[in-house]
Amino acid sequence: MSRDIQTVSVIGAGQMGNGIAHVFALAGINVRLYDIDSDTLKKAVQTIDTNLGRAVARGKITEHDQKRALTNIMTVDNLADTGPVDLVIEAVTEKERIKQAIFEDILLHVNDDTILTSNTSSISITRLASRTDRPERFMGLHFMNPVPIMQLVELIRGIATDEETFKSVAGVVDRIGKTYSTAEDFPAFIVNRILMPMINEAIYTLYEGVGNVQSIDTSLKLGANHPMGPLALADFIGLDTCLAIMNVLHDGLADTKYRPCPLLVKYVEAGWLGRKTSRGFYDYRGEVPRPTR
């Protein structure tokens, strides 16, 4: 028997977290949005308001929908205030030790029947769940970026996830108007298991001088009908995130085909992480993005 989820806490108000809060609030679900940084929380609410406003301008929702969604979001800066909800969605940075610390802390505040989920794009759900007191009520809930636009959500069961938990989470995904796919708990699941090696190979193609940034992205856009070239997509995702996922694949599957390209490592070491730092495979500091190689 599935559970009707009415209240949700989103842990982390960055790019993914504010998008997740957006879609749940728009679906009429009460959201508690937490971040350790108050400025990030303020920026998140502004971003949600702006994105809802764009949806109003396109005729996708009404102004009433926008106002109602905003009233469904409560920002909190104390982790204790996130606990008494039906569902927790962790959406912090893609570092396992940070995620583990969040779950260990939040266990002090959640209800006995609260479902815990992680928006991780690559880390073992079974391993994260094992650090909690409820591995049977823990699973992966992986949204795609940007959350309000992308239709897919990956649902990943850990080895102990029970059927009631899965049905409850699948039900709320239906309610927010998304489509889910189910993935087994292996490194990077489905989307990133396929996508990240393609991006990594594009970076190797650049590293080996087969083509420059512009030629590689143009080739995939026009030759494979991709909406965005792989290097531009890497910048959009964040090169640090791409590297983290490739390391999870390489460590978890022990196959040299997942070895991160040295050029990707170099860009991350330089702090050129893509759009969020204004430089990656493109330089975004001018009016028009310019390739950096």
Q: Is 104 marked active-site?
A: no
Catalytic site residue from 9, 22, 122, 142 = 142
Active site residue 192: yes
Which residues does 26 contact at the CB level (< 8 Å), separation at least 6? 52, 61, 65, 69, 72, 148, 176
- Considering 118, 121, 122, 124, which one is annotated as catalytic? 121
Let me know how long the chain is: 293
Q: Could you tell me which residues come within 8 angstroms of residue 248 by beta carbon, excluding any fewer than 6 positions away?
A: 122, 123, 187, 188
Distance CA 23, CA 26 (A): 5
Full DSSP string of 169-185: HHHHHHHTT-EEEEE-S
Q: What is the CA radius of gyration of the chain?
A: 19
Whether the upstream peptide bond of residue 260 has omega within 30° of 0, thus cis, is no
Q: At what angle do helices 262-270 and 239-253 cross, to 10 degrees?
A: 140
Catalytic residue, chosen from 18, 51, 119, 192, is 192
Helix 230-237 to helix 213-223 angle (10° resolution) is: 110
What distance in Å separates the CA atoms of residue 160 and residue 130, rounded to the nearest whole number? 9
291 in helix, strand or coil? strand
Q: In what order do the strands lie in the sheet with 179-183?
A: 73-76, 30-34, 7-11, 87-90, 115-118, 138-143, 152-157, 179-183
Specify whether 121 is catalytic: yes
Q: Among 94, 154, 168, 200, which one carries the catalytic annotation?
A: 154
For the annotated catalytic residues, the residue numbers are 121, 142, 154, 192
